[in-house]
A and B are shown apart, each in its own frame.
Chain A
Amino acid sequence: NAGVIQTPRHKVTGKGQEATLWCEPISGHSAVFWYRQTIVQGLEFLTYFRNQAPIDDSGMPKERFSAQMPNQSHSTLKIQSTQPQDSAVYLCASSKRANTEVFFGKGTRLTVV
């Protein structure tokens, strides 16, 4: 079990460019979560899927952020027209079922220059 796998680990984009972050959840886990971590805001929930269906995207900035889960083995978080304030560590997590342990990946550090 390799845990939750996130790629790339580091990404640098120019302001206005698009960034796509990838996540492979633990096999057999039905829920996939995306969080963002910054020094100022801490760990913030963005969105989650259960059985590939989007359930709650209440934490997603509405205009430039989108997330998809095309199959049970991967999810993507896409940020269009990146801005410096999007710089953060983006964490993907998965869990087997509700109210159980949530396993986090190592994160993708996004830097927008």
Chain B
Amino acid sequence: SQWGEENLQALSIQEGEDVTMNCSYKTYTTVVHWYRQDSGRGPALIILIRSNEREKRSGRLRATLDTSSQSSSLSITAAQCEDTAVYFCATDATNTGKLTFGDGTVLTVKP
């Protein structure tokens, strides 16, 4: 695996709470993609952060990237039930769109 200690994780939180998901990677990348996957659908990109960006925000989402420690995080502020999904980070070591995915985090937001 090109990933560190990440295995498929499960997080369960209450609506309105904040949550952070972390991933670490072993191979060089200039970009980290964060995807969410809803049941029965393919992954959908939610935020893309490049190596020259330490932080990127999109609505209630915030991604960070630390190239020195080869790690990235995705935070969701004031989670909603509709945020329930599986979240993956992915790297693109060859800058071609060929992605290497982490194992993912199953996030459940309870009302």
Task: For B97, give the chain A residue with the smallest CB separation.
Answer: A95
Between A and B, how many residue pairs show CB distances below 8 Å? 62
Given A42-B104, A102-B33, A55-B96 contact (CB < 8 Å) = yes
* Chain A 40-96 interface residues, beta-carbon cutoff 8 Å to B: 42-45, 48, 50, 55-56, 91, 93, 95
Report A-chain residues with C-beta under 8 Å of the C-beta of B33.
101-102
Q: Using known A-B contacts A42-B8, A42-B103, A102-B33, determine if residue A33 contacts B45 with beta carbons closer than 8 Å.
A: no
In the complex with contacts A48-B98, A102-B33, A107-B92 CB distance below 8 A: no
Q: Counting CB contacts under 8 A, is B40 at the interface?
A: yes
Q: Which residue of B lies closest to A109 (CB)?
A: B40
Interface residues as binary, B43-71 with A (CB distance below 8 Å gives 1, 0 otherwise): 11100100000000000000000000000
Question: In the complex, what distance in Å separates the CA atom of A100 from the CA atom of B90?
Answer: 13
Interface size on B, residues (CB 8 A): 25
Chain B 22-55, CB-CB to A under 8 Å as 1, else 0, gives 0000000011010100001111110010000000
By a CB distance below 8 angstroms, the chain B residues around A104 are 35, 42-44
Contacts of A99 in B (CB 8 A): 30-31, 92, 95-97
Residues of chain B with a CB closer than 8 A to A107's CB: 41-42
Is A21 at the interface (CB under 8 A from chain B)? no
Across the interface, which residues of A come within 8 angstroms of B8, CB to CB? 42
C-alpha gap A100/B96 in the complex (Å): 9
Binding site for A on B (CB under 8 A): 8, 30-31, 33, 35, 40-45, 48, 88, 90, 92, 95-104
Interface size on A, residues (CB 8 A): 25
Tell whether A31 is near chain B: CB-to-CB under 8 Å. Answer: yes
In Å, the complex CA distance between A95 and B99 comes to: 12
Residue A98, interface by CB 8 Å: yes
The reply to whether B98 and A56 contact each other, CB–CB distance below 8 Å, is yes
26 sampled A-B residue pairs with Cβ under 8 A: A4-B42, A33-B99, A35-B99, A43-B90, A43-B104, A44-B101, A45-B99, A45-B100, A48-B97, A50-B96, A55-B96, A91-B43, A95-B97, A98-B96, A99-B92, A99-B95, A99-B96, A99-B97, A101-B45, A101-B48, A102-B99, A104-B43, A104-B44, A105-B42, A106-B40, A106-B42
